[in-house]
Amino acid sequence: MFLNIKGRKIFCVPFFIHNRERINMFTVNRRVKEMLGSTTLAITARAKELAAQGHDVVNFGAGEPDFDTPDFIKKAGIEAINKGMTKYTPSIGTPDLREAIALKFQQENNLPYKANQVVVSCGAKHSLFNIIQVLVDDGDEVIFQSPYWVSYPEMVKAAGGKSVIITTDAASQFKITPEALTKHITPKTKILIINSPSNPTGVMYTKEELTAIAAICVKHKIYVISDEIYEKLVYDNIQMCSIASLGKEIFDLTITVNGVSKAYAMTGWRIGYAAGPVEIMEYIKKYQDHSTSNPTSISQAAAVAALKADSASIEAMVKVFRTRRDLMLSCLDKIAKVSYIHPSGAFYVFCDFAKVGDGAMIAKRMLDEVKVAGIPGDSFGAPSFIRFSFATSEERIVEGIKRVGEWVSKNS
């Protein structure tokens, strides 16, 4: 296109062509494009919006303890600020914290990790993301069960891998059986993710069940990611077992993930950690070096205090959670059309609404009509379910489940 400027013909590229090229250039990464948003965060945001408008919302959406971080931990954070611990730390965490984590693993989980096998990250979610990005290559298969924690499939997608989901049900006590695992293994299988206690079901694997699963992973040389973030929140007499503690061969194939978020009511402090074979942890270090660097220095100091303390604060919280769990279950028992998976750990009850309708539709309508927020099961791979968190007061549990019962009898 030529423009006539002061008698001279000047060649110009029309603006709209530039613009169109710019628009065409604005494409996002194919893997990121396929990632789903977080329903948990969306429902929580909607519940908060309704509450801000003055509605009396019962929020069963929470994915975090409603307790405050214990004072001694806060104090350690404040002291860290006052002592000037406000600078970069080693990318993988301070030596102090990594030593405390290695000691915790040795003493509590019978896992002989050394500090040089530990990487501290910005929450267990970050640890899991790092591990999956480091281990999974294009087309590699990652096995986990449904119901599953919402972020596993999205992390696998981000790495270019393929999620292979084992659907569990009441017959298998919502756990992966050795038979089901064997059936889903292919030459492309790279990782098995185990999450015990589980979010969203609260189900826990016994030592015997994990022993059988470990034997299969060792036979087929499959890595295991053991997500143990709810380790401390256990209510029945099931002994928490770390799969990596079941022998040298499975230890060498496992990356164990944990953190301080749930056990110490420290979700906002963002400290999680992973431990595994040195060669893998070296790559995770490299990945973290070039992405986030170290997790917050102040939070790391607070996490050291948390891990070195006795278990009094955890025990007090678990006692309250156990009472609330039993209360929520007894309230749910009165709603004939709704069944649930018995949670032995974590702080959720995963409720089956199959006799009433689709979980996503019911969750949306219950929030709009009776102002009860629960997380629809489709985001956990179980569309007829809704997850109710009992990280709220006894009074709200009674009120909320009463509303659920009334809604169900009116709509079924």
Ligand X SMILES: Cc1ncc(COP(=O)(O)O)c(C=O)c1O
Whole-number minimum distance, CB 266 to ligand X, in Å? 8
Identify which of 301, 235, 268 has the alpha carbon closest to the alpha carbon of residue 125.
Answer: 268
Nearer to ligand X, 149 or 340 (CB): 149
Rounded to the nearest 5 degrees, what angle is found at the Cα of 108, between the Cα atoms of 103 and 113?
A: 45
Nearer to ligand X, 149 or 321 (CB): 149
Identify which of 283, 232, 285 has the alpha carbon closest to the alpha carbon of residue 259.
Answer: 232
Identify which of 69, 125, 116, 86 has the alpha carbon closest to the alpha carbon of residue 273.
Answer: 125
Nearer to ligand X, 37 or 247 (CB): 37
Site for ligand X in 3-32 (CB under 6 A): none
Whole-number minimum distance, CB 338 to ligand X, in Å? 23
Distances (CA, A) of 67 to 72, 88, 268, 279, 305: 14, 30, 12, 38, 18
Report how far residue 334's alpha carbon sits from residue 402's, in angstroms, rounded to the nearest whole number.
9
Report how far residue 233's alpha carbon sits from residue 346's, in angstroms, rounded to the nearest whole number.
5
Whole-number minimum distance, CB 270 to ligand X, in Å? 7
Report how far residue 263's alpha carbon sits from residue 292's, in angstroms, rounded to the nearest whole number.
24
Phi, psi of 16 (to 5 degrees): -65, -25
Of 209, 227, 231, 378, which lies in the binding site for ligand X, with binding defined by CB under 6 A? 227
Q: Does 306 bind ligand X (CB under 6 A)?
A: no
Nearer to ligand X, 229 or 370 (CB): 229
Site for ligand X in 140-199 (CB under 6 A): 149, 195, 199
Q: Does 123 bind ligand X (CB under 6 A)?
A: yes
| CA 135 remoteness from chain centre | 18
- Beta strand segments in 122-235, E: 141-146, 162-167, 189-195, 223-227
β-strand pairing of 189-195 with 223-227: parallel
Of 62, 111, 119, 124, which lies in the binding site for ligand X, with binding defined by CB under 6 A? 124
Q: Does 125 bind ligand X (CB under 6 A)?
A: yes
CA dihedral 404, 405, 411, 412 (to 10 degrees): 130
Q: Which two tokens stand for residue 312?
A: 């009094």
Nearer to ligand X, 94 or 370 (CB): 94
Q: Which stretch binds ligand X (CB under 6 A): 121-129, 324-332, 333-341, 353-361?
A: 121-129
| Bridge partner residues of 47 (DSSP) | none
Nearer to ligand X, 281 or 335 (CB): 281
Whole-number minimum distance, CB 229 to ligand X, in Å? 4
Nearer to ligand X, 261 or 297 (CB): 261
Q: Does 205 bind ligand X (CB under 6 A)?
A: no
Site for ligand X in 47-106 (CB under 6 A): 63
Nearest residue to ligand X, using CB?
123
Report how far residue 221's alpha carbon sits from residue 226's, in angstroms, rounded to the nearest whole number.
15
Q: Does 38 bind ligand X (CB under 6 A)?
A: no
Whole-number minimum distance, CB 348 to ligand X, in Å? 9
Determine whether 5 is exposed, middle or buried from the number of CB atoms within 10 Å of its CB (0-12, 13-18, 19+): exposed
x/- map, 243-282, ligand X, by CB under 6 A: ----------------x-x-----x----x----------
Nearer to ligand X, 153 or 259 (CB): 259
Q: Which stretch binds ligand X (CB under 6 A): 69-77, 83-91, 123-131, 388-396?
A: 123-131
Whole-number minimum distance, CB 186 to ligand X, in Å? 25
Neighbouring CB atoms inside 10 A of 23's CB total 9
> Site for ligand X (CB under 6 A): how many residues?
13
Report how far residue 94's alpha carbon sits from residue 90's, in angstroms, rounded to the nearest whole number.
6
Residues that bind ligand X in the complex, under the rule CB under 6 A? 63, 123-125, 149, 195, 199, 227, 229, 259, 261, 267, 272
